Structure 1
Amino acid sequence: MSDSAGKNGVQLLDRAVTLLDFVADAGSEGLTLKSLCELSGLNKVTCHRILNSLVEHQLLHKIQGDKCYRLGTKLLIFGAKAARGPGLRRQFQPALERLRKQTGETAMLMARDRDDSVCIDRYDSEYQMQTLTGSVGGSVPLGLGPGSLAILSFLDTEQQQEMLQRNQARLESWPMLTPPRLARWIAETAEQGYALDTGELIPGIAGIAVPIRVAGAGVVGSLGLTFLSPRLNDDVCQRYVALLKQEVAEIEPLLSPLDTRLRASM
């Protein structure tokens, strides 16, 4: 293969991944060809060709007559395969099930992925409720939501500031997350040892999360509970925090700093 052909192949892959990222960020609403062209800077012909290829490989999904592209089913398969074996998801699955049974709430496991927090597993309660990340695989920028704050607040100050700066434009979509308010939220989380959302981000939905640390790798994720905010009071808060911390304390020693699945997100 010539150098030029190799470079073209890498460029094509980069463009395809960029388009997948944009579609993923759009969530269930998806994005139109026009929007993807504007976001990526690609011309319509090139963008359409790459999108069609991604649809053929089931990495994207497009219903006949629908103008929007959404994530495809094959990504769910990839995600399930990636989660097998060592790593956070396998280690925490019994804990998630116990938490759901003990509390009746939705238990969620988040992992850090660069400047984002990704939901890698969740055990839902009997109540259908909206969450910031949606289903497994959904992500939010670090700084948005208790699961995310439980990660961000326990990184060093320099890392926090760099991430907040990179995520600034995305966080501005949430008017209540002004820089002073977010700074106070981070400080409160670091001081009390857990993140708490009483229902400010999604009215009626509260959340509590604690960080997951690995020796030699730092904070790699968070374990949390999401529930209806009318259930929240001091007793419930302290009980849920104690349950979460107990589960994390028992599992953290089992997480190896040599596990590349934990370190890849750093």
Structure 2
Amino acid sequence: MDKNYISFMNKNTLVVTTETNESPHSEKSKTGTQSIERVVQMLRIVASRGKAGMRIGEIATTSGLPHSTCFRMLHRLEYEGLLDRDAHTRKYFLGPLLYELGLLARPRYRLSELCDGALQKLAEVTQDTIYLSERSGLEAVCTLRALGDYPIKSLALDVGIRRPLGVGAGGLAILCALPPDEAESIIEANAPKYEKYGFVSADYLREAIKVGRNQGYAFLDSVVTPGTAAIGIAFPPENPIAALSVAAISGRLDSLRRDEVARLLRQQIRIICGTMSR
């Protein structure tokens, strides 16, 4: 009879393995898969800080892996060019090889190129900051940003920053557009991560999703960044993989202006969806 064993890779990841009469080759495959998962996890953790970078202690704490294991992995990833370490600050950043590989992958994943004109138009009309957020598993990644001319800007995100879905108007808009069961499963999976982001919690997001579905757009005010607000709408409707959002100081997104900004977002999203379908 097979025996089940439960082990923890880190505080957020549960792995269930089954003892069977498998060959040594199968055991090696499992070990190799776990190594790949850890590498991807490490890259995601470093990427979550964007241009700020992370020190090894922060990476070890976030990953839940022993300091010695993190050191060996980071050293090898740096050697392979997947990470880069600043000699002065001792912080790790995404490496040059990822950039080079990204240049080859970009033609297949060109949503940011399709949306560039829409972001520029929205920034010109609203004078505020416009973001494109793309879904990546349980997270949303900022892949494009356009700045309006209003002198006080909301700059909560840099391109490349990833956050759990629901943190920020773009990620919240994607949750609003997903089937309820799928949205709930994402909230449950991300629940332990939300506590790092201001007043965001699983219960708060559940209520925000209800409101967002009723009004046709996601809205956050002083939740993650005090004094700033944002509106987001996901697209395409049948398969929400991304969202456009407008961010500004709270006073610029009162109830009357929110409806107008939402109308402008929908207008540009219709153009983008038309281009995507060609």
TM-score by length of 1: 0.81
Work out whether residues 18 and 40 of structure 1, in 8 Å CA contact, stay in contact via their aligned partners in 2: no
Q: Give secondary structure in 1 for the equivalent of 2:200.
A: coil
Question: Equivalences for 1:71-86 in 2 at 5 Å?
Answer: 71-79=94-102, 81-84=104-107
Work out whether residues 127 and 148 of structure 2, in 8 Å CA contact, stay in contact via their aligned partners in 1: yes
Give the number of the structure whose alpha-carbon radius of gyration is greater.
2
Query: Which residue matches 1:248?
Result: 269
The 2-side partners of 1:125 and 1:81 are apart by 31
Q: Is 1:41 paired with 2:65?
A: yes
Gaps of 5+ in 2: 1-23
Query: Which residue matches 2:203?
Result: 180
Deviation at 1:130, TM superposition (A): 5.2
Q: Is 1:114 paired with 2:122?
A: no
- How many pairs are equivalent? 252
Work out whether residues 83 and 89 of structure 1, in 8 Å CA contact, stay in contact via their aligned partners in 2: no
The 2-side partners of 1:74 and 1:129 are apart by 33
Question: Equivalences for 1:84-233 in 2 at 5 Å?
Answer: 84=107, 87-126=110-149, 127=151, 129=153, 131-132=155-156, 134-174=157-197, 176-213=199-236, 215=238, 218-233=239-254
The 1-side partners of 2:146 and 2:53 are apart by 25
The 2-side partners of 1:83 and 1:207 are apart by 28
Q: Give secondary structure in 2 for the equivalent of 1:84.
A: helix
Work out whether residues 28 and 70 of structure 1, in 8 Å CA contact, stay in contact via their aligned partners in 2: yes
* Aligned CA distance change for structure 1 residues 36 and 203 (closer, same or farther; 3 Å): closer
Gaps of 5+ in 1: 258-266
Query: Which residue matches 1:52?
Result: 75
Work out whether residues 129 and 155 of structure 2, in 8 Å CA contact, stay in contact via their aligned partners in 1: no
* Aligned CA distance change for structure 1 residues 28 and 191 (closer, same or farther; 3 Å): same
Query: Which residue matches 2:18?
Result: none
Moved more, 58-67 or 245-254: 58-67
Deviation at 1:19, TM superposition (A): 1.7
Q: CA RMSD in A?
A: 2.9
TM-score by length of 2: 0.78
Q: Give secondary structure in 1 for the equivalent of 2:166.
A: coil
Deviation at 1:27, TM superposition (A): 4.5
Query: Which residue matches 1:235?
Result: 256
**Percentage identity across paired residues of the two chains:** 27
Deviation at 1:236, TM superposition (A): 2.1
* Aligned CA distance change for structure 1 residues 35 and 242 (closer, same or farther; 3 Å): closer
Alignment deviations for residues 212-238 of structure 1 (CA, whole Å, 9 cap, x no partner): 1254xx111111111122222233212
Q: Give secondary structure in 2 for the equivalent of 1:121.
A: strand
Q: Give secondary structure in 1 for the equivalent of 2:241.
A: strand
